Amino acid sequence: MRVTIGRKAHFNAAHRLYNPNWTDEQNAAFYGKCNLPNYHGHNYKLEVKVKGEVDQETGYLLDLKWLSQIIKEEVEEPFDHRNLNLDTPEFRNLIPSAENIAGVIWRKIQARLPKEKNLDLMIVLYETERNFVEYSGE
Amino acid sequence: MRVTIGRKAHFNAAHRLYNPNWTDEQNAAFYGKCNLPNYHGHNYKLEVKVKGEVDQETGYLLDLKWLSQIIKEEVEEPFDHRNLNLDTPEFRNLIPSAENIAGVIWRKIQARLPKEKNLDLMIVLYETERNFVEYSGE
Amino acid sequence: MRVTIGRKAHFNAAHRLYNPNWTDEQNAAFYGKCNLPNYHGHNYKLEVKVKGEVDQETGYLLDLKWLSQIIKEEVEEPFDHRNLNLDTPEFRNLIPSAENIAGVIWRKIQARLPKEKNLDLMIVLYETERNFVEYSGE
Amino acid sequence: MRVTIGRKAHFNAAHRLYNPNWTDEQNAAFYGKCNLPNYHGHNYKLEVKVKGEVDQETGYLLDLKWLSQIIKEEVEEPFDHRNLNLDTPEFRNLIPSAENIAGVIWRKIQARLPKEKNLDLMIVLYETERNFVEYSGE
Amino acid sequence: MRVTIGRKAHFNAAHRLYNPNWTDEQNAAFYGKCNLPNYHGHNYKLEVKVKGEVDQETGYLLDLKWLSQIIKEEVEEPFDHRNLNLDTPEFRNLIPSAENIAGVIWRKIQARLPKEKNLDLMIVLYETERNFVEYSGE
Amino acid sequence: MRVTIGRKAHFNAAHRLYNPNWTDEQNAAFYGKCNLPNYHGHNYKLEVKVKGEVDQETGYLLDLKWLSQIIKEEVEEPFDHRNLNLDTPEFRNLIPSAENIAGVIWRKIQARLPKEKNLDLMIVLYETERNFVEYSGE
């Protein structure tokens, strides 16, 4: 029996969007308010979904306490109450758009999943209640 | 890197369900309260999801301001505060069930997406908090 | 021990706003999209809050099944899937604004509460997720 | 036109997790608080999603009143306000983890769907607002 | 400047309602499904609201980390994943209705608030998404 | 008939908490993660509630489009996508805690309400889904 389990988490961070290869005018024209120089912020909400086989002995796909701990170590501790542009090495050379944040989080969690269990990972990242990104490693 | 981005929107509209080829009794028996003659209404909530390749120069799959504008022109302006049966030509010969409204919205937004970008479109339409329809063009 | 208990309910209805003593131009100018002639609609959400003394024998302020039944009879059955302007006598001579709908609902439920229990009634009516009205009989 | 319709429902139940083949110490170590002996409980939320062809005569994939009735008979009536370990035969020999509850619900509803309509069933079960399971019969 | 700050928390517990002075028939007739013998459960959600003077030096009414810790010690640790009837001494002789749980929680938190700060405490307890109780010490 | 109407709004902003009269160590010890130097951010949600007399001619307490415009001018335009410490003059000498932001917003909106209508203003500001502040001018 192959199911998907999901776990929600959240972190509050500042960021701004700009491409260092562009002029200020190009950045302002393309990114609009998201390019304002002194940063703005979001309450990011994260859904981590893992698909795999249920262990008939435990009734679990995997232990959600373990998954919560992975999310805490890989996402909440390094990103919460941080400035994504200034404080987190992952975005030193990567624009912290919701798309790229989702990619970074997916790769960090994927690296912690046990390879032998044949698990599929999908994440959903809400930047606001109205905007979100889904990524599953494609 | 192929991600899905999502954007939420909403509109408030009146409608009723009936099949003009049926008798009043048949309509009342099949559609129940949704067939009452003087219309009722809903706060429809819409999720528009687009899957495609992230542009590495911008960090965006596509500009959400552009997508919001498309949703505004194709859905919010023509449908909000309207009677779907009487005011919108799409439902002159089409029963405005949630299934059909979802189909109409999908086709209107699909027609506006750039063909060359190889995008997949999926929408979710909530008629109430408890009832919803997903459509992806199948 | 004096507590407030609350119960949520909902109904889906059509309405439009206009003042029969005004010209069409005055109505359109004042009410905007809410004045469009063929009605629009909402998923109204209702919170009914009753404050009173907890009965030490039962642990209840009052039986929520009883309160749910009152809400069903006074609000859900007469208003759900109806056109408030055309189908409900309460709005024959009363503009069905959220303020007035809240007043009507408050008076209908208040009339059903037992007088001897010294209960305070307050209702909250959400017309959309962003707009709401509270009324407590003042 | 092939769409997915969804319907939400809920039930409030007690349960505890333990494997009768393990010692108490093994159970406590593995399941943690979920293993506490006197049961705890949840407001389970259920989404039932059915994918299939829209009937052009009715505008419906299927009648949501019918689907609601199936959910009521198969899930709400037998599970609501029950102790899943003690009151429901499905969990006499099956650990009532969210994964297994989702599997049981999927099979009960699947058995009621008309075979000839080529419908796909998927359910989402929220044990809390932060934990959920999706199952589609794989 | 006198403001109200609020903090949300939650716990998952089992309970049943019955009055030991009544017969089984009286209990079943009055409490209905809430009286079923093997317990059921809820994801209780709690809002703790404290009103008082803002400290101009810190910009805080009080430190939310401190308030969160109080809620954890007084509510989450003793009640989460417990059976309120069997595991918690507060309900040994008190029916664990939502009204009474709200009263118990209010008194436990009130006892921890500093007396000299002239604070007003109000709590809201959601037993389900549709049913809730507010209590402020009256 | 005296009712309360409410309108929701939101803005996304960066901030950090520190008291310029304290040492870095004092600030870090008191404010914790909220004191981190490069700012973090939130999706602030705002509820603006106004209590007053319903105008029997219009059925409105006041025009929500007008109230939305006031909120846009006084809150959304100056605060959205801004750094509250660096970009907004109101917080040059005021710690941008949720308590103080709520006070600033209340005073800005209160200054725009018509004096002759005897209106009461109350706002609720959610910094996260779990933390909020209410202020009504006391």
Query: Rounded CA gap, F80 and D19, in Å?
Result: 52
The C-alpha of D118 sits at a distance from chain A's nearest C-alpha, in angstroms, of 21
pLDDT of residue C50: 98
φ/ψ of F103, rounded to 5, equals -65, -45
Cβ of E3 and F99 within 8 Å? Answer: yes
Query: Rounded CA gap, E5 and E68, in Å?
Result: 12
Please count the structural domains in chain C.
1
Cβ of F83 and A13 within 8 Å? Answer: no
In this prediction, the residues of chain F whose per-residue pLDDT falls under 70 are none
Chains in contact with E, counting 3 or more C-beta pairs less than 8 Å apart as contact: C, D, F
Confidence of residue D32 (pLDDT cuts 50, 70, 90): very high
Interface test with F, best of A10, A17, A33, A43 (most F CBs within 10 A): A43
Does C88 reside within a domain? Answer: yes
pLDDT of residue D136: 98
Among the listed residues F10, F34, F47, F76, the single catalytic one is F34
CA distances from D10 to A39, C135, D42 (A): 42, 30, 10
Is residue A101 within 8 Å of residue A44, measured between CB atoms?
yes
**Three state DSSP letters for C31-58:** HHHHHCCCCEEEEEEEEEEEEEECECCC
Both structure tokens of F111: 């200054």
Does A32 reside within a domain? Answer: no
In chain D, which residues touch B (CB < 8 A)? 1-9, 49, 54, 57-61, 63-65
pLDDT of residue A2: 97
Say what the ipTM of the complex is.
0.94
CA atoms within 13 A on the CB side of D71: 22
Closest CA to C5 of C68, C69, C57: C68
pLDDT of residue B47: 98
Among the listed residues E40, E53, E77, E81, the single catalytic one is E81
Does B94 reside within a domain? Answer: yes
Q: Give the alpha-carbon dihedral of B96, B97, B103, B104, to 10 degrees.
A: 20
Domain of residue D53, residue span? 2-13+40-135
Residues near B20 by beta carbon (within 8 Å), at least 6 away in sequence = none
pLDDT of residue B94: 97
pLDDT of residue D67: 97
From the list E30, E98, E130, the residue facing C58 with the nearest CB is E30
Percent over 70 (pLDDT), chain A: 100
From the list A94, A102, A130, the residue facing B3 with the nearest CB is A102
As averages over each run of 10 residues, the pLDDT of chain B (138 residues) reads: 97 98 97 97 98 97 96 98 98 97 98 95 97 97
Does A82 reside within a domain? Answer: yes
Closest CA to E45 of E80, E92, E84: E80
DSSP structure string for D6-66: EEEEEEEEEE----TTS-HHHHHHHHGGGG-TT-EEEEEEEEEEEEEE-BTTTTBSS-HHH
Enclosing H/E stretch for C100: helix C98-110
Query: Rounded CA gap, D111 and A69, in Å?
Result: 38
Residue A127 is among the residues annotated as catalytic for this protein: yes
Is residue A69 within 8 Å of residue F42, measured between CB atoms?
no
CA angle A76, A80, A83 (to 5 degrees): 135
In chain C, the largest separation of any two C-alpha atoms, in whole Å, equals 61
Is residue A84 within 8 Å of residue B48, measured between CB atoms?
no
Q: How many beta carbons lie within 10 A of that of residue F110, not counting itself? A: 17
pTM above 0.90, yes or no: yes
How far is Cα of residue B63 from the mean position of the Cα atoms in its chain?
Answer: 20
Cβ of F95 and E59 within 8 Å? Answer: yes
Residue C129 is among the residues annotated as catalytic for this protein: no
Taking residues D108-136, what's their average pLDDT? Answer: 97
Summarised one tens digit per residue, pLDDT across range E51-104 is: 999 999 999 999 999 999 999 999 999 999 999 999 999 999 999 999 999 999
B91-127 residues labelled b (16+ CB within 10 A) or e (exposed):
beebbbbbbbbbbbbbebbbeebeeeeebebbbbbbb
Residues near C113 by beta carbon (within 8 Å), at least 6 away in sequence = C50, C119, C121
The C-alpha of C95 sits at a distance from chain E's nearest C-alpha, in angstroms, of 29
Query: Rounded CA gap, A101 and D77, in Å?
Result: 43
Mean pLDDT of all residues belonging to chain D: 97
Cβ of F17 and E59 within 8 Å? Answer: yes
Is residue A124 within 8 Å of residue A133, measured between CB atoms?
yes
Query: Rounded CA gap, D134 and D106, in Å?
Result: 10
Summarised one tens digit per residue, pLDDT across range F111-133 is: 999 999 999 999 999 999 999 99
From the list A3, A58, A60, the residue facing D135 with the nearest CB is A3
In chain B, the largest separation of any two C-alpha atoms, in whole Å, equals 61
pLDDT of residue A100: 98
Is residue D33 within 8 Å of residue D39, measured between CB atoms?
no
Chains in contact with F, counting 3 or more C-beta pairs less than 8 Å apart as contact: A, C, E
Does F110 reside within a domain? Answer: yes
Confidence of residue D21 (pLDDT cuts 50, 70, 90): very high
Residue C42 is among the residues annotated as catalytic for this protein: no
DSSP structure string for A39-53: -EEEEEEEEEEEEEE
B vs C, Cβ pairs < 8 A, gives 81
As averages over each run of 10 residues, the pLDDT of chain C (138 residues) reads: 97 98 97 97 98 97 96 98 98 97 98 95 97 97
The C-alpha of C85 sits at a distance from chain F's nearest C-alpha, in angstroms, of 14
Summarised one tens digit per residue, pLDDT across range A27-65 is: 999 999 999 999 999 999 999 999 999 999 999 999 999
Find the CATH number of the domain harbouring E59. 3.30.479.10
Does E60 reside within a domain? Answer: yes
Does C26 reside within a domain? Answer: no
pLDDT of residue A112: 98
The C-alpha of B91 sits at a distance from chain A's nearest C-alpha, in angstroms, of 28
Taking residues A71-83, what's their average pLDDT? Answer: 98
Confidence of residue A122 (pLDDT cuts 50, 70, 90): very high
Residues for chain A: how many in total? 138
Does A35 reside within a domain? Answer: no
Question: What is the SS3 assignment for E59?
Answer: coil
From the list E19, E103, E138, the residue facing C58 with the nearest CB is E19
pLDDT of residue D138: 94
